[in-house]
């Protein structure tokens, strides 16, 4: 195999890969061995016809396509080991020559890792973040904690906003029931906006045992095409009404939270809010510093690199949905999206991720930032705890990926470095 590299514009490169004729012939023989069992030639038992006889009858290239399809990925991967390039995209393959008895020649157009020229990255000015906590914020946080501690009681009074009603319902358009319009023992919190506009309002005042006829009109932008703008009637039977009973803010409640008095409890709430704001402020400072450094740096990102990153982001998202029991087909049907549209919408975020990574890796290089063995051990211990495994087992599983982990940790150190060097100014 021989490889020729042609540098193209915008950090693209074209690899021309030539595979000897004997390699192609071996690949064709493998294709023959795999396919011969299903080929019938008069005068031969099934699966026993010689390759030359099959090629004579069906053409010399009968096994060529399968051979080429199997050979190209294998030879492309070999070629990567022979070129001094950091390739950051999937290859665009084009056949140049594919004929029996001749060398296989194909090209692979790829994006290569761009070079970054840093601008200023020390002493960057970033907006100062407010970390003060007001009394109103404390009261709001306490209110939320009270709501979390509320108990839910079944009540025999009229339902009000905020109550949860459990109901059976069935919807009709022009007197005909429609798909998806029926539910049994469905819990619905009034005022939550879970159902179409107007539905929940008409259940206010209902009691357990009541039958309520709800009249609504589906919005023009409703997801089901056949229901857009249609008037509908829902026959609803109320099974029960539940209401949250929020506890009083007193020393008893504070005691349940581990404090002697309400004032002590509020002081702890404020302390936690301050810690949250300080963490958020530090994250905002890091983000602002990195954004500014990207703005001041020079780099030319190839479109193919962005395409690959966006595709990977979509694939990762679909894997998460699949793990939750939602297939890609279901997701696209629910959202009205397509894979191509989703990839296109992911490109701005993909570009930002690429720029961030490239700039931070350059700072790691320039500043000589490294992850120590202690850093790596701490990360492995954290992963071991997360997955309930022994640290040695995690290290063994990571194997060659340990080097990538070290770089990731160094990149995170670079984020901390640029934030520490940044200068906060009043917004």
52-61, 279-288, 406-415: the lowest-pLDDT one: 52-61
pLDDT tens for 125-168 read 999 999 999 999 999 999 999 999 999 999 999 999 999 999 99
Query: How far is the C-alpha of 404 from the C-alpha of 284, rounded, in Å?
Result: 26
Domain ranges of the chain: 2-111, 151-245, 277-425
CATH class of 2-111: alpha beta
Predicted local confidence at residue 122, as pLDDT: 95
CATH hierarchy code of domain 151-245: 3.10.50.40
Residue 229: predicted pLDDT = 93
Question: What pLDDT sits at residue 53?
Answer: 82
Please answer whether residues 163 and 183 qualify as being in contact, where contact means their C-beta atoms are separated by less than 8 angstroms: no
For residues 216-237, average pLDDT: 92
Q: Which helix (H) or strand (E) holds 174?
A: none
Q: Where are the beta strands (DSSP E) in 1-47?
A: 2-7, 12-19
Identify the pLDDT of residue 349.
97
Cα–Cα distance between 362 and 415 in angstroms, integer? 12
- Per-residue pLDDT at 30: 92
Percent pLDDT > 90 in the chain is: 84
User: Mean of the pLDDT values across residues 218-244?
Assistant: 93
Q: What is the reported pLDDT for 43?
A: 75
User: Yes or no: is domain 277-425 CATH 1.10.3120.10?
Assistant: yes
Nearest residue to 183 (alpha-carbon basis) of 223, 244, 239: 239
Q: How confident is the model at residue 49 (pLDDT cuts 50, 70, 90)?
A: confident
Q: Poorest-confidence range of 46-55, 265-274, 326-335, 336-345?
A: 46-55
State the Cα torsion 158-162-166-171 to the nearest 10°.
90
Element at 338 (helix H, strand E): none
Can you give the pLDDT at residue 55? 83
Given a cut of 80, whether residue 46 has pLDDT beyond it is: no
SS3 at position 60: coil
**Which residue has better confidence, 221 or 42?**
221
Between 54 and 319, whose confidence is greater? 319
For 140, what's the count of Cα atoms within 13 Å in the CB-facing half-sphere?
6
Among candidate residues 205, 219, 216, the one with its CA nearest the CA of residue 169: 216
E strands along 112-198, which residues?
A: 125-127, 151-155, 164-173, 176-189
Instruction: State residue 352's pLDDT score.
Output: 96
């Amino acid at each position: 195999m021989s490889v020729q590299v042609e540098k193209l514009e915008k950090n693209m490169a074209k690899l021309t890969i030539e595979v000897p004729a004997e390699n192609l012939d071996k690949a064709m023989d493998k294709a023959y061995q795999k396919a011969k069992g299903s080929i019938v030639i008069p005068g031969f038992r099934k699966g026993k016809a010689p390759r030359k006889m099959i090629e004579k009858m069906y053409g010399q290239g009968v096994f060529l396509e399968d051979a080429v399809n199997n050979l190209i990925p294998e030879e492309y991967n070999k070629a990567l080991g022979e070129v001094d390039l950091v390739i950051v995209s999937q290859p665009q393959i084009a056949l140049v020559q594919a004929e029996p008895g001749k060398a296989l020649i194909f090209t692979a157009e790829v994006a290569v890792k761009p070079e970054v020229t840093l601008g200023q990255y020390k002493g960057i000015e970033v907006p100062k973040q407010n970390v003060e906590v007001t009394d109103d914020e404390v009261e709001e946080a306490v209110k939320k904690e009270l709501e979390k501690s509320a108990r839910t009681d079944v009540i025999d009074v009229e339902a009000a906003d905020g109550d949860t009603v459990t109901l059976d319902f069935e919807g009709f358009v022009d007197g005909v029931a429609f798909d998806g319009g029926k539910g049994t023992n469905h819990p619905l919190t009034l005022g939550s906006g879970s159902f179409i506009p107007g539905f929940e309002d008409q259940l206010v005042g209902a009691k357990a045992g009541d039958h309520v006829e709800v009249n609504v009109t589906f919005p023009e932008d409703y997801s089901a095409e056949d229901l857009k703008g249609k008037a509908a009637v829902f026959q609803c039977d109320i099974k029960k009404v539940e209401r949250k009973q929020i506890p009083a803010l007193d020393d008893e409640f504070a005691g349940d939270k581990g404090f002697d008095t309400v004032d002590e409890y509020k002081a702890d709430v404020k302390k936690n809010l301050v810690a949250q704001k300080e963490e958020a402020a530090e994250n905002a400072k890091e983000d602002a510093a990195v954004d500014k450094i990207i703005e001041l740096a020079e780099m030319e990102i190839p479109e193919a690199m962005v395409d690959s990153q966006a595709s990977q982001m979509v694939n990762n998202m679909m894997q998460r949905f699949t793990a939750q029991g939602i297939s890609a087909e279901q997701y696209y049907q629910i959202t009205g999206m397509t894979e191509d549209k989703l990839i296109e919408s992911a490109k701005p975020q993909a570009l930002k991720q690429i720029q961030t990574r490239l700039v931070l890796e350059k700072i790691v290089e320039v500043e000589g930032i490294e992850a120590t063995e202690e850093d790596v051990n701490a990360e492995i211990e954290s992963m071991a705890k997360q997955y309930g495994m022994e640290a040695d087992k995690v290290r063994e599983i990571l194997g060659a990926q340990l080097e990538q982990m070290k770089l990731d940790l160094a990149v995170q150190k670079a984020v901390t470095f640029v934030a520490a060097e940044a200068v906060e100014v009043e917004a």
